[in-house]
Amino acid sequence: MLITPNRQDLNKIVVINPKGGCGKTTLSTNLAAYFAKRGPIPAVMDCDPQGSSMGWIERRPSSKPPVHGIAAYKRTMQATRSWQLRVPQETTSLIVDSPAALSHDDLREVTRDASSILVPVMPSSIDIHAASRCIADLLLVAKIDRRDRKLAVVANRTRKNTKSLDKLMRFLDSLGIPIIAVLRDSQNFVHAVEDGIGICEMTPYKVKKDIEQLDQIIQWLDGWKERRYRTSDSAMIEQSDNVTMFRKPGIGSN
């Protein structure tokens, strides 16, 4: 079980989607690099036994602003669990990189007290189908209330104007879940992860397009405190209405 502090000034950003390779670590590490550059020091909690985010932190050059790493997937005998998972006091952004498979209990635990939940989705039929199950679990198992506006999708590795991107957008639109950014398929992300950096730390003219796309995610994340207050019209959305449709096979696959 995870224990993360419920601090009023802490934006707990959970990056989640059981579909392997959809871009959780890529997104988590790029957000971490961005927040590190802006300060104060962010923390990345790596819940994935593959330890990809922790590996990224280990590769991070000492010349770059530090990112605090929490290897939540490790069970240490030397320290208490709460000590192992502690978040530095000055940290205001905690990014949780989640594993491919989560039990219902772990899903509830990972998302508890989250202020922002990002679901990276690649726009293929298989990925859209997996994402629909993930979103269903977030709403029905983790009891994330859409009216809280803390849940958003990032379309990842997309090419413009493709049928599958269009399908993903229509599907999410029908659920009232926003796609806050569309990240293109770009080798910049691959190189950044390999080098322990974020695209915001690469030569600016080479990453201009990718930075513009990432900025849209940052902008949405920065609104987390405002999103806490529900708007009266969003309170009209009936949570239970459309949710059961997720359970039906074939959603997002036609």
Q: Which residues form the interface with ligand ATP (CB under 6 A)?
A: 20-26, 48, 50, 52, 100, 156-157, 183, 185-186, 189-190, 193
Pull the structure tokens for residue 90.
Answer: 């000055």
Q: Are 42 and 95 in contact (CB under 8 A)?
A: yes
Q: Which does 26 bind (CB under 5 to 8 A by kind): ligand ATP, Mg ion, none?
A: ligand ATP
Tell me which residue has tokens 């929490």.
70
Rg (CA), the chain: 18
Q: Which does 102 bind (CB under 5 to 8 A by kind): Mg ion, ligand ATP, none?
A: none
Give Cα 29 to chain centroid, integer Å. Answer: 10
> Of 96, 242, 216, nearest to 153 (Cα)?
216
Tell me if 73 contacts Mg ion by CB under 5 A.
Answer: no
- For ligand ATP, the closer of residues 185 and 215 by Cβ is 185
Give Cα 105 to chain centroid, integer Å. Answer: 19
Tell me if 19 contacts Mg ion by CB under 5 A.
Answer: no
Pull the structure tokens for residue 14.
Answer: 């959970």
The residue nearest Mg ion at its CB is: 25
Interacting span for Mg ion (CB under 5 A) from 25-33, 72-80, 179-187, 206-214: 25-33
Q: Which does 156 bind (CB under 5 to 8 A by kind): ligand ATP, Mg ion, none?
A: ligand ATP
Pull the structure tokens for residue 193.
Answer: 């992860």
What's the closest the beta carbon of residue 90 comes to Mg ion, in angstroms?
Answer: 26
Tell me if 4 contacts Mg ion by CB under 5 A.
Answer: no
Tell me if 24 contacts Mg ion by CB under 5 A.
Answer: yes
Tell me which residue has tokens 């990842």.
156
